[in-house]
């Protein structure tokens, strides 16, 4: 098989009050049979009508609202056709991950069942704020992965695609159906850990650490804080076991994003 090219895209730069800049780390996986997007950041409709994101998110996270940051625009800028995005794989349905869905109305949207249910119900105050129904108002072609039908390095997992292997790896805690997404590469795996952690130091094996405001933010927005911490411990175990075979990174850490971008081979066009 030919191995896919993976592009790292920041689809929603954010400048939170009193914090360091954040990214919305998305992946564009170029396969022989189409494009796969892992998370979507914010989309064209969010940029056109930021009110739909809610005042709390806009005032605290202060996203840069510019069409050039949308996945749709960046895919075009890389020389691909956004209409070739056949599959979108979501770590979860928070507004800063699902905003671009409407830009790819014909794509299959893969999500874990627990996440889908939580987002459709929005039955807690936290869920009502974090899930923006307008982001899927166009009626996506959902592919809801009900049971974890595979395993991946000791984790239960749900297979999304084969060749290359792409799997949803449930890591609930941040939200009810929050997942990591594993993408197979020739000599290693990429593991997009979504919002399982926000700061790269949290996965440091010798001295795990996190700036206090970031730790507080994560506690506030976690659906289950204790469960999130447990998942973090599992990610550290994974890093300890296979540091070279699995490249773990999260959605919002600008340092990891810069590192991964530098490691990627960018095609000459
Ligand atoms: Zn997020």
Query: Could you tell me the distance, in angstroms and rounded to a whole number, from the CA of residue 171 to the centre of ligand 1?
Result: 14
Q: Is residue 268 part of a domain?
A: no
How far is residue 256's CA from residue 248's CA, in Å, rounded to a whole number? 9
Q: How far is the CA of 9 from the centre of ligand 1 (A)?
A: 14
Q: How far is the CA of 138 from the centre of ligand 1 (A)?
A: 22
Domain with 63 in it = 5-263
Find the 26 Cα to ligand 1 centroid distance in Å: 11
Per-residue pLDDT, 263 = 80
Q: Cα(195) to centroid of ligand 1, in Å?
A: 5
pLDDT in tens, the chain (269 residues): 567 899 999 999 999 988 899 999 999 999 988 999 999 999 999 999 999 999 999 999 999 999 999 999 999 999 999 999 999 999 999 999 999 999 999 999 999 999 999 999 999 999 999 999 999 999 999 999 987 779 999 999 999 998 889 999 999 999 999 999 999 998 899 999 999 999 999 999 999 999 999 999 999 999 999 999 999 999 999 999 877 899 999 999 999 999 998 887 544 33
CA of 2 to the centre of ligand 1 (A): 32
Task: Compute the distance between CA of residue 101 and CA of residue 85 in angstroms, rounded to an integer.
Answer: 11
Going by C-alpha positions, the residue among 179, 195, 198, 188 that lies closest to residue 239 is 188
Q: Is residue 269 part of a domain?
A: no
Number of independent structural domains in the chain: 1
Specify if 88 maps to a domain: yes
Q: Which residues of 133-147 are buried (b: 16+ CB within 10 A; e: fewer)?
A: eebbeeebeebebee
Q: What is the pLDDT of residue 207?
A: 94
21 in a domain, yes or no? yes
The length of the chain, given as a count of residues: 269
Report the first-to-last Cα separation within the chain, whole angstroms: 23
Round to whole Å and give the CA distance between 217 and 202: 14
Separation of CA 269 and ligand 1 centre (Å): 32
Distance from the alpha carbon of residue 268 to the mean position of ligand 1, in angstroms: 31
Tell me if the bond preceding 8 is cis, omega within 30° of 0: no
Distance 1 CA to ligand 1 centre (A): 33
Report how far residue 185's alpha carbon sits from residue 231's, in angstroms, rounded to the nearest whole number. 24
> E strand or H helix at 10, and its extent?
strand 5-10
User: Ligand 1 center to residue 252 CA distance, Å?
Assistant: 7
CA of 256 to the centre of ligand 1 (A): 15
Dist. CA 69 → ligand 1 center (Å) = 16
**Who's near 93: CB < 8 A, 6+ residues apart?**
111, 115, 116, 118, 119, 131, 135, 136, 175
Output the pLDDT for position 215. Answer: 94
Q: What is the CATH number of the domain that holds 131?
A: 3.60.15.10
Q: Are the C-beta atoms of residues 196 and 171 closer than 8 Å to each other?
A: yes
Q: How far is the CA of 96 from the centre of ligand 1 (A)?
A: 5
Query: CA-based Rg of the chain, rounded to a whole angstrom?
Result: 17
Nearest to 258 by CA among 22, 18, 12: 22
The two beta strands, 85-89 and 34-38, are parallel
- Ligand 1 centroid vs 4 CA: distance in angstroms? 25
């Amino acid at each position: 098989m030919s191995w896919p090219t993976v592009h790292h895209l920041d689809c929603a730069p954010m400048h939170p009050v009193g914090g360091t800049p954040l990214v919305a780390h998305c992946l564009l996986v170029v396969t022989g049979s189409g494009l796969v997007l892992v998370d979507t950041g914010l989309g064209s409709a969010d940029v056109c009508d930021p009110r739909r994101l809610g005042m709390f998110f806009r005032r605290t996270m202060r996203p840069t609202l510019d069409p050039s940051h949308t996945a749709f625009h960046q895919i075009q800028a890389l020389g691909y056709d956004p209409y070739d995005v056949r599959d979108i794989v979501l770590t979860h349905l928070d507004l800063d991950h699902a905003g671009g869905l409407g830009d790819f109305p014909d794509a299959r949207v893969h999500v874990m069942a627990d996440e889908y249910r939580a987002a459709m119900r929005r039955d807690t105050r936290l869920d009502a704020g974090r899930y923006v129904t307008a982001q899927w108002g166009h009626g996506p072609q959902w592919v809801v992965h009900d049971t974890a039908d595979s395993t991946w390095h000791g984790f239960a997992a749900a297979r999304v695609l084969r060749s290359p292997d792409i799997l949803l790896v449930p890591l609930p805690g941040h939200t009810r159906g929050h997942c990591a997404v594993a993408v197979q590469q020739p000599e290693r795996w990429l593991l997009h850990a979504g919002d399982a952690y926000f700061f790269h130091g949290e996965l440091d094996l010798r001295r795990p650490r996190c700036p206090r405001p970031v730790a507080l933010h994560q506690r506030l927005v976690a659906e289950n804080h204790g469960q999130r911490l447990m998942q973090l411990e599992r990610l550290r175990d994974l890093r300890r076991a296979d540091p070279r075979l699995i490249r773990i990174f999260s959605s919002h850490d600008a340092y990891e994003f810069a590192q991964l971008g530098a490691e990627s081979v960018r095609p000459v066009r």
